[in-house]
């Protein structure tokens, strides 16, 4: 108190420094995105004439429609990123839904319906979280071959579900062990069985962890490139692979504006998910640590 005569000024200074740092950091992360957006609205002529980094003189959506539905990618008949984007959606929705549901059920069983060896089962499942993608490529392609699912969307979905269940189970299990066990005991005495307890008692309490899991799985699966490139054929490739093929098509001159637009298109769904549900994501991540 004695040292700083006017504490409010000290506060303002501290705030100013804090905000300055935050703005710099935010700018550092935002600049590439801004550059991408700006470039995507410039025409190729303009880019060729001037600098790579420059404010657009004319504003056009040409690059976007090129990337979306006109650019020739590989030797495909259909043009643009659109078919890849649709593949991604067809892949991500069932993958996220199935892996999340399985994770919730696993977590529920591992927390409230323990059986002999359930701890071991959980430990074994956790190993899945530490397996690098690369480690399962060969056995998984072998397996998909046996199942007759090589190169199909279903095979890709299966791969994502299996790989994701370790994580989703971990999330739900760690959330559920913090719920009071008496809830399930009371419900059992009230006459409720396995499914009734799950749907009427446990699931309604799972909103925070559901959001976390869905966001996590959505970003993981949407952004995945490795599984997408290994386990698909041209008809089932996801947008990440499509983008890669588009950018790396070596015919003609590099179309920076189209590449940028394509990259934004490929990233758009995850950005939207974060903006819409990010608040719940942070809340859900910390939910387990606070009692009540």
Q: Kindly list the distances between the CA atom of residue 175 and the CA atoms of 164, 169, 172, 195, in Å, as whole numbers in the listed order.
A: 17, 10, 5, 18
Nearest C-alpha neighbor of 169 from the set 204, 202, 213: 213
Quote the least distance from Cβ 292 to other proteins, whole Å: 8
Residue 208 vs 228, nearer CB to other proteins: 208
Quote the least distance from Cβ 84 to other proteins, whole Å: 41
CB-CB contact of 92 with 219 (8 Å): no
Quote the least distance from Cβ 200 to other proteins, whole Å: 8
Contacting positions for other proteins (CB under 8 A): 180, 182-183, 185-193, 196, 200-201, 204-205, 292
CB-CB contact of 153 with 236 (8 Å): yes
Residue 148 vs 204, nearer CB to other proteins: 204
Quote the least distance from Cβ 233 to other proteins, whole Å: 46
Residue 98 vs 187, nearer CB to other proteins: 187
Residue 135 vs 205, nearer CB to other proteins: 205
What residues contact residue 128 under an 8 Å CB cut-off, 6+ apart? 163, 165, 166, 167
Q: Can you tell me the distance from the alpha carbon of 229 to that of 226, in angstroms, rounded to the nearest whole number?
A: 5
Residue 26 vs 186, nearer CB to other proteins: 186
H or E element in which residue 84 lies: helix 82-112
Residue 249 φ/ψ, nearest 5 degrees: -60, 120
Residue 3 vs 116, nearer CB to other proteins: 116
Q: Can you tell me the distance from the alpha carbon of 7 to that of 15, in angstroms, rounded to the nearest whole number?
A: 12
Quote the least distance from Cβ 105 to other proteins, whole Å: 18
Quote the least distance from Cβ 183 to other proteins, whole Å: 5
Q: Can you tell me the distance from the alpha carbon of 226 to that of 85, in angstroms, rounded to the nearest whole number?
A: 16
């Amino acid at each position: 108190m004695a040292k700083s005569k006017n504490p409010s000024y000290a506060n303002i200074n501290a705030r100013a420094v804090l905000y300055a740092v935050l703005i710099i950091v935010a700018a550092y992360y935002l600049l590439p995105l801004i550059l991408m957006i700006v470039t995507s609205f410039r025409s190729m002529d303009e880019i060729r004439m001037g600098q790579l980094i420059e404010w657009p003189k004319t504003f056009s959506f040409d690059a976007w429609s090129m990337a979306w539905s006109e650019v020739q990618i590989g030797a495909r008949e259909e043009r643009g990123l659109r078919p890849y984007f649709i593949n991604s959606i067809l892949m991500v929705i069932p993958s996220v839904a199935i892996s999340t549901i399985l994770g919730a059920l696993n977590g529920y069983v591992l927390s409230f319906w323990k059986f002999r060896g359930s701890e071991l089962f959980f430990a074994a499942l956790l190993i899945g979280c530490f397996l690098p993608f690369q480690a399962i490529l060969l056995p998984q392609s072998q397996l998909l071959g046996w199942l007759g699912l090589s190169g199909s969307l279903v095979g890709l979905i299966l791969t994502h579900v299996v790989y994701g269940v370790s994580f989703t189970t971990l999330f739900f299990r760690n959330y559920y062990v913090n719920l009071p066990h008496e809830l399930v005991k009371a419900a059992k005495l009230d006459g409720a069985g396995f499914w009734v307890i799950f749907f009427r008692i446990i699931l309604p309490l799972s909103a925070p962890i559901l959001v976390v899991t869905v966001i996590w799985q959505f970003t993981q699966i949407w952004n995945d490139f490795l599984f997408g490139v290994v386990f698909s054929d041209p008809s089932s490739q996801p947008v990440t692979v499509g983008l890669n093929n588009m950018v790396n098509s070596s015919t003609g001159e590099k179309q920076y504006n189209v590449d940028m637009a394509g990259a934004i298109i490929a990233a758009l769904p995850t950005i939207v998910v974060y903006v819409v549900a990010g608040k719940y994501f942070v809340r859900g991540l910390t939910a387990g640590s606070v009692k009540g």
